Amino acid sequence: MQGTSGTDGRLFNAENIFAGLLLFILVPLYIYCLPPVLPPYRDSGEMACAAWTLGVAHQPGYPLYIISGKLFSLIPLGNPAWRLNLFSAAAGIAGAFVFWRLAASAFSPAAAFFAAVLLGFNFTLRTVSSVPEMYALNFFLASLLLSSACSGDKQVGRLPVYLTAFLLGLAMTNRMDIVLATPALLVLLWPSVREGGIGGFLKAAGFFFLGFSLYFYLPIRSSSWPFFDWSHPADLNTFWAVITRKSYGSTLDLISKEYAPGQLFWPNVKFYAIHLWRNFSFGLVFAAAGIWAECRSSLRRLLGISALFVFSGPVFLYLANMPPNPHALAVVEPYYLLPDLAIAFWAAAGLFLAVSSFPRARPFFALAALFAAGLVFYGGARGSYRRWLFAAEDYASDVLRGAPPGSSVIAKKDVQIFSLWYMQAVKGLRPEVNTVAQGLSGSPWYRASRNRYSPLLTLTNLNSGEEAEWKAFTEVNSGGVYATMDAVLPHGVPTFPSGLLNWISGPRTAADPWLFYSFPRLDPDYRDFFDQDLGTSYAQALVASSALRSASGSLEAGDLRGLRLASVLDGDVPDAPLYEGFYYSSRSDWASAKKCFKASADVYERLLELSVEYCSLPPLKESLASSSAYAWLNYGVALEKTGDRQGAEGAYSFALRRNPRMADAHYNLAILYWNRDWTRVRSELAETVRLNPGHFQAARYLEQMKGR
Q: What is the 3-state secondary structure (H, E, C) of 132-184?
A: CCCHHHHHHHHHHHHHHHHHHHCCCCCHHHHHHHHHHHHHCCCCHHHHHHHHH
Task: List all residues 6 or more positions away from 210 whose beta carbon is below 8 Å from its beta carbon.
Answer: 166, 169
The pLDDT score that the predictor gives to residue 154 is 65
CA distance 668 to 347: 64
> By C-alpha distance, which of 66, 419, 392, 443 is closest to 222?
66
**pLDDT tens figures, 314-349:** 999 999 999 999 999 999 999 999 999 999 999 999
Alpha-carbon Rg for the chain, nearest whole angstrom, is 30
Boundaries of every domain in the chain: 22-384, 391-519
Share in percent of the chain as helix, strand, coil (round to 5) = 70, 5, 30
Element (H, E) at 474: helix 467-476
Residue 319 and residue 252 in contact, taking contact as beta carbons nearer than 8 Å: yes
Instruction: Name the DSSP class of 408.
Output: E
Whole-angstrom CA distances from 195 to 41, 192, 258, 302, 487 are: 46, 5, 45, 21, 58
Q: How far is CA 54 from the centre of its chain?
A: 24
Mean pLDDT (the chain, rounded): 93
CA distance 604 to 628: 5
Instruction: Name the DSSP class of 216.
Output: G
The residue count of the chain comes to 708
Q: What is the DSSP string of 483-550?
A: EETTS---TTS--EEETTEEEEES----S-GGGT--GGGS-TT---HHHHHHHHHHHHHHHHHHHHHH
> By C-alpha distance, which of 144, 107, 149, 118 is closest to 14?
107
CA distance 624 to 468: 28
3-state SS class at 356: helix
> By C-alpha distance, which of 398, 288, 385, 388 is closest to 345?
288
Q: How many alpha carbons lie under 13 Å from residue 434 in its C-beta half-sphere?
A: 26
**pLDDT tens figures, 637-675:** 999 999 999 999 999 999 999 999 999 999 999 999 999
Backbone angles phi, psi at 113, to 5 degrees: -60, -50
Q: How far is CA 344 from the centre of its chain?
A: 25
Global pTM? 0.94
Backbone angles phi, psi at 231, to 5 degrees: 70, -5
Residue 115 and residue 283 in contact, taking contact as beta carbons nearer than 8 Å: yes
Backbone angles phi, psi at 403, to 5 degrees: -105, 135
Task: List all residues 6 or more positions away from 704 whose beta carbon is below 8 Å from its beta carbon.
Answer: none
> By C-alpha distance, which of 384, 524, 334 is closest to 35?
384
Angle between helices 109-121 and 337-357 in degrees, nearest 10: 150
CB atoms within 10 A of CB 88: 29
Chunk the chain into consecutive blocks of 10 residues (it has 708) and report each block's average pLDDT, rounded to whole numbers.
Answer: 46 88 98 96 97 96 98 95 98 98 96 97 97 98 97 74 97 96 96 91 97 98 96 93 74 66 93 97 97 95 98 95 92 96 98 96 94 95 90 95 94 97 97 96 94 92 95 93 96 92 88 70 72 92 92 88 92 96 96 98 97 93 97 98 96 97 97 93 95 94 80
